[in-house]
Amino acid sequence: MKLKKLSIGTFNLLNLNEPNLPMYTDKKGWSDAQYVLKIDWTQRLLKLLRPDIFGFQELWHADALHNAVDTAGLSDAYDVLVPDDAKGKRIVCAAMVRKGLLKGQPDWIDKFPDNFVLKSKGDDPQTSAITVNIKRFSRPVLHFTITPREDQEDVHVYVCHFKSKAPTKVFMEDWFHADEATYKKHATGLGSALSTIRRTAEAAALRFLLTEQMKETRTPVIVLGDINDGQLSNTQNILTEQPRYLVGGSVGGSDVALYTAQTLQEYRSSRDVYYTHIHQDMMESLDHILVSEEFYDNSRKRIWMFDGMTVNNDHLSFDDHKTSGTNDHGVICAHFAYKPIKA
């Protein structure tokens, strides 16, 4: 296979599960009618966009995703990647990959690397010691390999979904109940801090894996998914290592850096209208497509050139997801054209 164009998408499915199965504290889950609406809306997006790779978050049951793909008439065109135990009991990351692209078998990375450490005695006398003992991802990271061109290196793809900004429910903890009078008024602040620490640790653990794979290699990498944080957030900065975006000259690129499609799109437009989520009337971008220097226009090692991005987010203007079947995130797709840099 020698593709001349490669398209990549990410899609948060908003708890796509089979009907009448419990989710979180909702013991009834989606009704039959709500399920039909969700499948219909999901399949219409799949059929409309049809990227070569689609990463999914918030999938509960494999049958629900297969149902959407089947209804869209895409089963013969795509391999659907879902873990064997996706039976509606927990949230997983998944993907659909155009047939002929997938190489080998996918794997889901649950645990942080064995030699990953977040521990310090402090940088200076004023900084106290810190230890973070988180050992696994909230949602296992999906990893798979594609071969868009037989004359180039295989591309490694990671689909992730980090801890949300929602405050961790500290009111369920023993220490909270032991002194509720003190802690009740601090539940939001403490819970938000814990969520941020967990999300930061997840970003650092994935960055650890990426650096191990990318350092001093020519391995192209794509990271996509819902990181529950914005373009300039610390979470994003950890993942990307904050590369410099050169305007011209094709002499840029960094060995282990990742470049966000959002920034690449901003270079092509006079306005920034990118958002994928609305919370309390605040529009922000939580869903991202990040690519290594092989996909960066101005890299001296460029293989693929950025060719634009779409954001389907009109449905976010209406908070009627249960009755309309829509989700609460925008669906983004980035497009690249095969155009290696000339020596």
Q: pLDDT by residue (tens digit) across 182-212?
A: 999 999 999 999 999 999 999 999 999 999 9
Using a 10 angstrom Cβ sphere, with 0-12 exposed, 13-18 middle and 19 or more buried, the burial of residue 132 is middle
Query: 193 CB contacts (<8 Å, ≥6 apart)?
Result: none
Q: What is the pLDDT of residue 316?
A: 85
Q: What is the pLDDT of residue 12?
A: 96
Give the CATH number of domain 5-109+140-164+221-338: 3.60.10.10
The HSE-up count of residue 150 (CA atoms within 13 Å, CB side) is: 3
Domain spans of the chain, in order of start: 5-109+140-164+221-338
Q: What is the pLDDT of residue 253?
A: 87
Rounded to 10 degrees, what is the CA torsion of 120, 125, 128, 134?
-10
Tokens matching residue 325: 């079947």
Residues in the chain: 343
**Mean of the pLDDT values across residues 239-248?**
83
Question: How many helices (H) does the chain have, and how many strands (E)?
Answer: 8, 16
Q: How far apart are CA 190 and CA 174, in angstroms?
A: 14
Beta bridge partners of 189: none
Q: Lowest-pLDDT range, 134-148, 178-192, 247-261, 262-276?
A: 262-276
Percentage of residues of the chain with pLDDT beyond 90: 80
Q: pLDDT by residue (tens digit) across 95-114?
A: 999 999 999 999 999 999 99
Contact between residue 303 and residue 336 where contact means Cβ atoms under 8 Å apart: no
Q: How far apart are CA 226 and CA 186, in angstroms?
A: 27
Q: How far apart are CA 201 and CA 192, in angstroms?
A: 14
Q: pLDDT by residue (tens digit) across 121-175?
A: 998 989 999 999 999 999 999 999 999 999 999 999 999 999 998 999 999 999 9
Q: What is the pLDDT of residue 273?
A: 62
Distances 84 to 19, 62, 72, 94 between C-alpha atoms, Å: 19, 8, 22, 11
Q: How far apart are CA 203 and CA 134, in angstroms?
A: 12
Beta bridge partners of 130: 120
**Mean of the pLDDT values across residues 250-267?**
87
Q: pLDDT by residue (tens digit) across 304-317?
A: 999 999 999 888 88
Pairing of the two strands 119-120 and 155-161:
unpaired
